[in-house]
Amino acid sequence: MYSNIFINMRSNHEIDYKILGEELQAVEIELDPNETVIAEAGNFMMMEDGIRMDTIFGDGSKQQSGFMDKLFSAGKRLLVGESLFMTAFTNTSSGKKHIHFASPYPGKIIPMDLSKLGGKLICQKDSFLCSAKGVSIGIEFQKKLGTGLFGGEGFIMQKLEGDGMAFVHSGGMIIEKQLAPGELIKVDTGCIVAFTQDVQYDIQFIGGIRNSIFGGEGLFFATLRGPGKIWIQSLPVSRLAGRMMAYANNGKEEGSVLGGLGRMFDGDNG
């Protein structure tokens, strides 16, 4: 069953979609004739015949009215390791067509209707999957000095603006929480998926010598203060990658020592 998004006077393309799967999810988007969906390189999975793929400069949003606007936006993306280009998929046929985008690692795909979220969403860098044409995908720099110096993963985030649908990917399970005015929550910087524009984001020092040296959780929390809506993930990709690297290194050490001893006792001199 497709979720149908229709709002009068919407400036972004209106797209129907459905989320497939449980842990390794994909989103299936139904495009009417001449409708377009925008995606970062590497998220495409499959599409039906009749959909044209174009590499575009910037994100193709209507907010970028001139070349200099596009150049400035693309330049900011380049500074933080993003590509200057994105990919647009347009239904050039006379009937409905379907296209799929896949999540890059185990987790959840979260559909975000920006028209119901104040027209702007701040999300973790690299979490953007795809969106309706017209949604602006930019970079949000945290303005506070402490956040910039110590924020780590949370210093540079993505900014999605418009009134269309955007799809964000997260790792593990998702906790969605509505913060009341003044309500404060402390989060590991890598566990933040997204928050609405009214949420105040900052960095707080954990404190305590033992916590700093032996705590193993880093020196700083991210603090999110309401009002607003937040999305928190249980398995940030940085944590997953760190555990995999540690496992790989331990495996090599175990294999080199125990494996060598085993060969000695077994009489294997090869």
Backbone angles phi, psi at 145, to 5 degrees: -60, -45
Neighbours of 13 (CB within 10 A): 22
Average pLDDT for consecutive 10-residue bins of the chain (270 residues)?
52 86 92 94 93 84 57 58 80 97 91 95 90 88 54 69 94 94 92 94 69 53 93 83 73 49 47
Q: State the DSSP H helix or E strand holding residue 130, giving kind and residue range, or none if neither.
A: strand 128-132
Residue 190 maps to a domain: yes
User: In this structure, are residues 114 and 160 in contact, taking their beta carbons and an 8 Å threshold?
Assistant: yes
Q: pTM above 0.85? A: no
pLDDT at 221: 82
Cross-strand pairs, 178: 229
Q: Taking Cα atoms as reference points, which of 53, 22, 12 lies closest to residue 166?
A: 12
In a domain, 151, yes or no: yes
- We report the CATH number of the domain holding residue 42 as 3.60.160.10
Copy the structure tokens of residue 169.
Answer: 């990917």
3-state secondary structure of 265: helix
> Quick one: tokens of 88?
């647009």
In a domain, 111, yes or no: yes
Q: Is residue 46 part of a domain?
A: yes
Is 269 a domain residue?
A: no
Whose CA is closest to 80, among 134, 135, 138, 130? Answer: 138
Q: How many domains, the chain?
A: 1
Domain that holds residue 117: 16-261
Determine, yes or no, domain membership for 270: no
Q: How many CB atoms lie within 10 A of CB 116?
A: 11
